[in-house]
Amino acid sequence: MKNFIETFDNALTENECNYIINYMNTDDRLTPGTIQSGVNKKVKDSFDVFMNLNNDDDLEVNEIIFKAFCNCLEPYVKKHTQLNRLAPWKIFPLYNLQKYNPQQGYHSLHCENSNPSIASSHRVMAWMFYLNTVTDGGGTYFDNYDLTMDAIQGRGVIWPAYWTHMHRGIVSKTETKYIATGWVSYTVPN
């Protein structure tokens, strides 16, 4: 059975991952991670840098992420051609760099299209890049498929944003996990 979760190993190089991690750790925007209702560490316990592909201040990181994501998205759409039958969609420009220290994680099962907010309700797909390898947990668990995705440096992952793809982070008790994550959304008329 297809699960529509596709992995792309070596989507980012080791140097690119290390550059993004260093960027994140030295950025003064690194703040406690939020969900729709704000900071709730019982749900999501992380440190995030909110990014915008259209922000020239983050140009080098944005170029790395955008190029790598496009290189993953093309074969994803080629494999799942039904995406071409949907209403117009595009890469959503806002995304997150996330740092999970030992014991931190996205603890609750969730999907990326889970509430009526404009941003969430228009999401079609989610994407993620693991920026480091975590050997003590650190992956992502998709419950409907009983699938654990291991956190391997440079690995890109794309999956549908809907309830069929509920997932949560797997907490590492000893290691820090770094990811970049974002969405593909329907094009909303102005």
**pTM value?**
0.93
Question: Which residues is 48 bridged to in the sheet?
Answer: 31, 98
CB atoms within 10 A of CB 43: 17
Tokens 């991670």, residue located: 33
**Could you tell me the sign of the dihedral formed by the alpha carbons of 91, 64, 41, 105, in that order?**
positive
Per-residue pLDDT band at 73 (split at 50, 70, 90): very high
H or E stretch covering 65:
helix 59-79
Share of the chain above pLDDT 90, in %: 74
Per-residue pLDDT band at 108 (split at 50, 70, 90): confident
Question: Which residues is 140 bridged to in the sheet?
Answer: 149, 169
- Residue-wise pLDDT for 148-168, tens only, equals 999 999 999 999 999 999 999
Residue 135, pLDDT > 70, answer yes
pLDDT of residue 39: 66
pLDDT of residue 142: 96
- Residue-wise pLDDT for 15-48, tens only, equals 999 999 999 999 888 887 776 666 666 767 788 9
